[in-house]
Amino acid sequence: MARLLHLFEEELLRLECDQRPDLEFLREVLQYCVSYPELCHHPKEDLVYGMLRQRDPEAAQAFGNLAREHEVLERQALEVLGMVDQLREGHSPSPGAVAREARNLLDFYRRHMAAEEDCLYEAAARSLTEADWAEIDAKVGNREDPIFGDRVEAAFAALRSSILGKRRNSA
Look at residue 151 in the predicted model and tell me its pLDDT.
Answer: 72
Residues 6+ apart with CB under 8 A from 100: none
Domain total for the chain? 1
User: What pLDDT shows up at residue 143?
Assistant: 66
Measured between alpha carbons, how far apart are the two ends of the chain, in Å?
18
pLDDT reported for residue 159: 75
Chunked into runs of 10 residues, the chain (171 residues) has average pLDDT values of 88 91 90 80 86 91 81 94 93 87 96 88 93 91 68 70 66 50
- Give me the pLDDT at residue 107, please: 96
Residues of the domain holding 23: 2-170
Instruction: Please give the Cα distance from 82 to 30 (Å, whole number).
Output: 10
CATH number at residue 126: 1.20.120.520
